[in-house]
Structure 1
Amino acid sequence: MQILDGKKTSEDIKKEIAAEVQQMKANGEKVPHLAAVIVGNNGASLTYVGSKVRSCEQIGFDSTLVALPETITEAELLDKIKELNENEDLDGYIVQLPLPKHIDEEKILLAIDPQKDVDGFHPTNFGRMALEMETFLPATPFGIMELLERYKVETSGKHTVVIGRSHIVGRPMSILMSRKGNPGDSTVTLTHSRTKNLEEYTKNADIIITALGVPEFLKADMVKDGVVIIDVGITRVEDATNSKGYVIKGDVDFDGVSKKSSFITPVPGGVGPMTIAMLLKNTLLARKIRSRK
């Protein structure tokens, strides 16, 4: 069993990007500029956005934090999005979710210029991904593909079972794993809450990618020997014995399933750290595309 170490891999990627940024500076080129928009004071969102800004500083990107009050109207936020779209100095930006309930998230995400959508959520970019064209891949699926590639996990001709059909992870993963190339060329089954006899699929899977959000859902008796496990789940579970009062659990019963796995991602330290690294990689791509134009 080999651990797919997202923490180490993400640090490797950041170092690679930092070296490229240094070369850009040496050549007198503009360095990538990423902005993050946050509305309100959601604690988890503030922490996540803060880590993105720190990562930008770490690798030499320019970064801007756009902090807006929770009372902002939808129209005012759309005006801010338009302003960011038209800002020539900005290569890409993200709008941190969730947004306050009085704001239509879909309307905001659709308003983002697809050429600055480094989260990869815009329908234009989703469509380009499905057509195997150059685009910004959704950061978490992009990170999973990068892990599979760097650890040389064989995916061609393998049966991949994806658990969960969200637009952020499950559905894009089903597309990416079936695309031509490496990683890819996999036969994919997309399962979800209405799938009957899920174990019939997981027991026959060579690769399982689970993004369900149910702690330790996938047990050892649901998988075969040699399976590759990608655990995207991340749930806080109350634990009085822990100083924080909780522990982080994935969708997979790690202790049991790891004994049967050839490769497995831990939680935390697996897929999570890769998400920010790939957001940075998308921003670098956005700068390159803009400079080509």
Structure 2
Amino acid sequence: MSESPTAVSSSTTPSAHSARLLPGAPVADAILADVASRAEALRSHSITPSLATILVGDDDASAGYIRIKQRQAAELGFASPHAHLPATATQRELHAVIDGFNADPAVHALLIQYPIPPHLDYEAALMRVDPDKDVDGMHPLNLGRLAAGIPGPLPCTPAGIEALLAHHGIPVSGREVVILGRGATLGRPLAMLLAQKRPTANAAVTVVHTGVPDWPRYTRRAEILIAAAGVPGIIQPEHVKPGAVVIGGGVRYEGRRLLPDVAEECAAVASAITPRVGGVGPTTVAMLFRNAIEAAERRFT
């Protein structure tokens, strides 16, 4: 799991070595300030940007994430239509709600809150979303656009990591980036994103995973190491090249406790590192709204 919208404050610097912290909050603030300005410009032309959300069931954490997104939408001047389906909803009922939002010209972006009840097919629901309204950037058409270098909604956590590195002045072009984790939501799209020829990318990217017995051989050579495995504490100091930049992208939750991939002790080896709390999470949420404002602008340009 990569999204942590509740994790918005930085942890304290570990005591051993003063690796520079790379908090996500200032990155998110800059992105959201730009989104707010663009939303105001649209409203000046009588266009209200809109991010619709769908929640299925009564999972407390999922409902909390929806409330956070709705509050953020209100602060940015977005409309936030919402559909809440019971846990007993059928696939057909879910698809009908998606179809309604797809057909509504006042809705520019759409989010299906994950997870959904196990009897429902999330991939089928995602495929039903209009790709141009896919605010998560995870529709297969949008992943294809990413692979081909065609503009479109970007996966939020990978795009947030690229923005975090750029905001904190971490050079990426020409450097060796190693990503531990090959998941469809983070590792694979991030590799495509950082390998593209752009000033904030253009890296030599290696993707390795925990099924490789000697994966530390790869992580120890990385100038920029990005953990995306979703295995708490998998990255230990001995897995990090001295002076490397370490980004914790993967997390798992134990109840409400966030368990990151990167052990805090890695700050004793790294030159710069994301904090345990408040690193990539805030940038993920910010990128959600950047995708949404871009979707609104595409409809009126």
TM normalised by structure 1 equals 0.93
Unaligned runs of 5+ in 1: 239-245
Are the aligned partners of 1:234 and 1:267 in contact in 2 as well (CA < 8 Å)? no
Shift of 1:179: 0.8
Question: What does residue 194 of structure 2 align with?
Answer: 177
Q: Measure, in 2, the Cα distance between the counterparts of 1:222 and 1:49.
A: 36
From 23, 45, 48, give the equivalent of 2:41. Answer: 23
Matches within 5 A, 1:1-293: 1-25=19-43, 27-237=44-254, 247-254=257-264, 256-292=265-301
Question: What does residue 12 of structure 2 align with?
Answer: none
Shift of 1:141: 0.7
Q: Secondary structure at the match of 2:268?
A: helix
**How many pairs does the alignment contain?**
283
User: What CA RMSD, in Å, does the superposition of the two structures yield over aligned residues?
Assistant: 1.4
Shift of 1:259: 2.2
Q: Which amino acid aligns with 2:260?
A: G
Sequence identity of aligned pairs in percent?
35
Are the aligned partners of 2:180 and 2:219 in contact in 1 as well (CA < 8 Å)? no
Q: Secondary structure at the match of 2:105?
A: coil
Q: Measure, in 1, the Cα distance between the counterparts of 2:132 and 2:253.
A: 35
What per-residue deviation string (whole Å, max 9, x for no partner) do you get for residues 180-237 of structure 1?
Answer: 1122111111111211201110110111111212222111111111111110122345
Shift of 1:21: 2.1
Q: Secondary structure at the match of 1:188?
A: strand
Are the aligned partners of 1:149 and 1:182 in contact in 2 as well (CA < 8 Å)? no
Unaligned runs of 5+ in 2: 1-18
Shift of 1:65: 1.8
Q: List structure 1 segments (4+ residues) > 6 angstroms apart after TM superposition.
A: none
Q: Measure, in 2, the Cα distance between the counterparts of 1:24 and 1:96.
A: 26
Q: Measure, in 1, the Cα distance between the counterparts of 2:47 and 2:257.
A: 42
Q: Secondary structure at the match of 1:146?
A: helix
Q: Measure, in 1, the Cα distance between the counterparts of 2:194 and 2:156.
A: 15
Relative contact order, CA 8 A, sep 6+: which one is greater? Answer: 2
Shift of 1:156: 1.2
Q: Measure, in 2, the Cα distance between the counterparts of 1:111 and 1:139.
A: 19
Are the aligned partners of 1:249 and 1:268 in contact in 2 as well (CA < 8 Å)? no
What per-residue deviation string (whole Å, max 9, x for no partner) do you get for residues 217-273 of structure 1?
Answer: 1111111111111101223458xxxxxxx742311111x211222221112100011
What per-residue deviation string (whole Å, max 9, x for no partner) do you get for residues 121-175 of structure 1?
Answer: 1011001011111110011111111111111211111111111111110110111
Q: Which amino acid aligns with 1:260?
A: V
Q: Secondary structure at the match of 2:300?
A: helix
